[in-house]
Amino acid sequence: MKYRNLGKTDMEVSEVGFGVWTVSTGWWGKIEEKDGITLLQQAMDLGVNFFDTGDTYGLGYGEEILAKALGKKRSEVFIGTKFGYDFYNNVERDGHVERPQDFSPKFVRYACEQSLRRLNTDHIDLYQLHNPRLETIESDELFETLEALVQEGKIRYYGSALGPDIGWFEEGKASMKDRKVPTLQIIYSILEQNPANKFFPIAEEEGTGLLSRVPHASGMLDGTYDKYTVFAPSDHRSHRRQIWLETSLKKMERLDFLTKETDATIGQIAIQFALSRSSIASILPNITNERQLREFVFATETPSLRAEVLEQIDDLYSHNFYLEETPEKFATSKD
């Protein structure tokens, strides 16, 4: 495993981290607790030292299972969790509809204490605003509270974790430029590059450390999907529209060249693509079994993508993967 400094913090995090939501929410397929704990412990044994969870994951279970897995290794890892959704007073939820948010000082302090209890720790390494809107970023009262929690030793650093549809570019820009948060969590992959591409120059200017989740575009870039794929109604991926699936599979046909000159899998190449951005410190792939864990962890030992390959990916993305052209024409133009 290789490690990178997370922005202006003093945390040297593993280039591949572990997003705990896959073993705690059921949104990525049901995983039994004992299997989830084993997977988290295997990740630690392989050198993963950054674990990202959230207080809403499984209504607190995402923090509890991490505490069960850590055992005596708490001092050897960095924990990131998230806050801002009030699931304490709003337990009922209709499917994946967003819960009410509360970033008031009173609620933030309460949520922090509950996370500390569930994590069985005296401090949180990275406390992240969960899908904040711009008005939340603009709240002096909120950031005064976070600074106080730092001074009290309950959190070491705070940052923003942005959602795909809930709070995005303006929120990320304001977090980095106005609030000077040391970390920002974003979505970034070969198939989903915007608005992340706009974040990189800001992050470099401000010294912000980026955490990149969903590097495999919800399974499209790790071999999970084909045109016959059907997911259970509770699975997060079942909410993807069929047109998205069909379009993404066509884009994948344009990426066949990536695996022709290397022994790396497309899943490993997807991680190397994200790691090609120097401001990204750690990648958070969706890990559901030991095979995936090993494949993704060992992605850091595969060759970095050559500049020509990155340029070709950039050309494809900027032209919507030439989907308006026939596969035959595309293949001829790229030979």
Confidence of residue 335 (pLDDT cuts 50, 70, 90): very low
Q: Is residue 322 part of a domain?
A: no
Q: Is residue 198 part of a domain?
A: yes
Euclidean distance between CA atoms 274 and 309, whole angstroms: 13
> Phi first, then psi: what are they for 314, rounded to 5°?
-60, -40
- Two tokens, residue 257: 């060249």
DSSP 263: S
- Two tokens, residue 148: 């106080």
Domain count, the chain: 1
Euclidean distance between CA atoms 216 and 222, whole angstroms: 6
Q: Is residue 321 part of a domain?
A: no
Domain carrying residue 58: 3-243+263-307
Confidence of residue 97 (pLDDT cuts 50, 70, 90): confident
Q: Summarize the confidence of residues 198-209 as an average pLDDT.
A: 97
Q: Summarize the confidence of residues 305-330 as an average pLDDT.
A: 84
pLDDT score recorded for residue 31: 86
Q: Is residue 318 part of a domain?
A: no
Predicted TM-score of the model (pTM): 0.90
Amino acid identity for residue 9 in this structure: T
Euclidean distance between CA atoms 138 and 40, whole angstroms: 36
pLDDT score recorded for residue 30: 80
* Best CA proximity match to 219, nearest among 233, 200, 238: 238
Contact 83, 55 (CB under 8 A): yes
pLDDT score recorded for residue 70: 94
pLDDT score recorded for residue 91: 67
pLDDT score recorded for residue 329: 46
Q: Is residue 314 part of a domain?
A: no
Q: Is the pLDDT of residue 129 over 60?
A: yes
Q: For position 125, which CATH number holds?
A: 3.20.20.100
pLDDT score recorded for residue 224: 74
Query: pLDDT over 70 for what percent of the chain?
Result: 87
